[in-house]
Amino acid sequence: LPADQTPVDSLREEYNSLAEEVRQHRFAYYNENAPTISDAEFDELFRRLEKIEALHPELIANDSPTQEVGGDASSAFAAVNHLQRMYSLEDVFSLAELDVWVSRAAASVESVSPGSTITWLTELKIDGLAVNLLYRNGELVRAATRGDGATGEDITHNVLTIKSIPRVLAGTGHPAEMEVRGEVFFPSAAFAQLNERMVAAGKAPFANPRNAAAGSLRQKDPALTAERPLDMYVHGIGVREGLAAQSQSETYGLLKEWGLPTSPYFKVLDDAPAVVEFIEHYGTHRHDLFHEIDGIVVKVDDFALQRALGHTSRVPRWSVAFKYPPEEVNTRLLDIRVNV
Ligand code: NAD
């Protein structure tokens, strides 16, 4: 160490430069849609930041990437304030980490609501782009990207080109105001064809379906978005004035009745071993699906328990993402480099 530097100074320097590096990668990924490292490499940097903060909470800055949802709204689109905040997800990378998370959530539930049993809504983690749809009296009035969780980008015209998203909801009993959150994605087969066409036309292909979905959805000209076969599955709800549902799975039932695209793959499971079985099943079948996934999302199903657990500034405490090992993404990036 230089004579005038203490170990704390040097740790602070490492922490600040790591935080800056993470911010720059977030900007490249969310704002420019041009990541320069793989998701696994990014996750590694993010975890290092989290580890330093866990050991030295005194270093945590208010604007640390661990305290914020990634992705500012770009000025290329009008800014939209979400009525209810959108969050990211806490990640775990092994079954052992998942076990720790489940025990912690169960202990928190026991302390806020003694004797409650938890049912786990278990879903595929779609590798796409989070979008917030605002319906007023059953009519789609606005669609926005997640952005930093509070403010997103107005992409209404582009979203209207996605065939599976209804402009007007079917049925009756819609809340006067309802925010439906979901993932817009590029179906795997269509993604492969798109990249073949890009390469044939001498253009740089997309690094992965998530980038293709983000690039297609954030076009200034909706006619270009319309040429891309984007799809969506809903996986959350924001403002829901008067919605007659006590749980997330019950909500999915209503959203489906109203014509919104819900995933056919989710399951409501009674215990952790069943969740592990679900994770292992899709671990071996992750490439047999209609869309790419990068993990499994596990949620406490009951709304009252979700409310009791609450959230941090970045993630809900009632949900976790189990991330699969990154072999697929790396292979794909390498393949594409070869193609180019
Ligand atoms: P995340 O993608 O890990 O998880 C949160 C998001 O998952 C939610 O916002 C939602 O959009 C999505 N999701 C998909 N299926 C869902 C479901 N069934 N239920 C609920 N949510 C679901 O978090 P993030 O903060 O959006 O981004 C982090 C991801 O982006 C990581 O995978 C990271 O590696 C990647 N990233 C990469 C770079 C890079 O440079 N390569 C930079 C920044 C971020």
Sorted by where each begins, the domain ranges of the chain are 7-67, 79-339
User: What is the rounded average pLDDT of the residues 133-156?
Assistant: 96
- 7-25 residue pLDDT tens: 778 888 999 999 999 999 9
What fold does the segment set 7-67 form as a domain?
Helix Hairpins (1.10.287)
Estimate to the nearest angstrom the gap between the alpha carbon of 216 and the chain centroid: 17
CB 262 within 8 A of CB 182: no
Give the pTM. 0.91
Active site residue 163: no
Taking the C-alpha atoms of residue 314 and residue 35, their distance in angstroms, rounded to an integer, is 21
Catalytic-labelled residue, pool 51, 125, 203, 220:
125
Report the candidate in 107, 185, 162, 169 with the shortest Cα–Cα distance to residue 135.
Answer: 169
Report the candidate in 30, 130, 151 with the shortest Cα–Cα distance to residue 84.
Answer: 151
- 20-44 residue pLDDT tens: 999 999 999 988 888 899 888 999 9
Superfamily of 79-339 according to CATH: DNA ligase/mRNA capping enzyme (3.30.470.30)
CB 208 within 8 A of CB 293: no
Q: Return the percentage of the chain with pLDDT > 70, whole number.
A: 94
State in Å: Cα 47 to ligand 1 middle. 14
| Domain 7-67 matches domain 79-339 at the CATH topology level | no
Give the binding-site residues of ligand 1, using a 6 Å CB cut-off: 25-26, 28-29, 35, 37-39, 42-43, 70, 88-89, 91, 123, 125-126, 130, 146, 183, 235-236, 294, 297, 321
The 8-class DSSP code of residue 316 comes to: B
Which band of pLDDT confidence, cut at 50, 70 and 90, is reported for residue 332?
A: very low
- 80-136 residue pLDDT tens: 999 999 999 999 999 999 999 999 999 999 999 999 999 999 999 999 999 999 999
